[in-house]
């Protein structure tokens, strides 16, 4: 039977901008709705973990890696941090840059790769091998 990660993966591929688990607290649900309405994407930590596990199960070598050549080293680094679930604020803190600079790097990577949201950027990072399950910054 399909795992939760399989459902998350297919939902993102189909255009979902967010994915929460059913026991999400009301306050978190409201924040998630506001996040998606603002044009961002959102995955709960458990959904992210499920997505990574599902991807690891179905992973195959990708021929897309050369497409990463359009990114700067910093954009690739930021994409890795997005792929492990960091917010713009967390990326900024990790890289010692402003949150606006982190957001700019994320936006540029999305534009260059044709990703419509952060969730697609995460999928792309795994599909190209930029990150692998268990990778940590």
Phi, psi of 119 (to 5 degrees): -60, -40
- Of residues 2 and 10, more confidence is placed in 10
What count of other Cβ atoms lies within 10 Å of the Cβ of residue 66? Answer: 9
Q: Tell me: pLDDT of 87 over 80.
A: yes
Residue 134 has pLDDT above 50, yes or no: yes
Is residue 63 very low, low, confident or very high in pLDDT (cuts 50, 70, 90)?
very low
Residue 96 has pLDDT above 70, yes or no: yes
pLDDT tens digit sequence for 4-62: 666 777 777 777 777 777 788 888 888 888 888 887 877 776 666 666 666 665 555 44
Dist CA 63 CA 42 (whole Å): 27
Residue 19's DSSP bridge partners are 43
CATH code: domain 4-127 is 1.10.10.10
* Strand blocks (E) in the chain: 18-19, 42-43
pLDDT tens digits, residue range 103-115?
Answer: 999 999 999 999 9
Phi, psi (deg, nearest 5) at residue 93:
-65, -45
pTM for the full model? Answer: 0.59
Q: How confident is the model at residue 64 (pLDDT cuts 50, 70, 90)?
A: very low
19-48 burial by CB neighbour count: b if 16+ within 10 A, else e?
A: bbeeeeeeeeeeebeebeeeebbbbbebbb
């Amino acid at each position: 039977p399909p795992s939760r990660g399989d459902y998350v993966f297919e939902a993102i591929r189909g255009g979902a901008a967010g994915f929460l688990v059913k026991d999400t607290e009301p306050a978190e649900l409201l924040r998630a709705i506001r996040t998606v309405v603002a044009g961002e994407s959102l995955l709960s930590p458990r959904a992210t973990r499920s997505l990574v596990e599902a991807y690891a199960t179905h992973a195959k070598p990708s021929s897309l890696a050369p497409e990463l050549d359009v990114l700067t080293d910093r954009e690739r680094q930021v994409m890795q941090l997005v792929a492990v679930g960091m917010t713009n604020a967390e990326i900024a803190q990790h890289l010692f840059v402003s949150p606006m600079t982190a957001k700019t790097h994320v936006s540029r990577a999305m534009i260059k790769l044709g990703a419509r949201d952060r969730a697609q950027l995460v999928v792309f990072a795994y599909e190209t091998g930029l990150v692998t399950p268990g990778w940590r910054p």
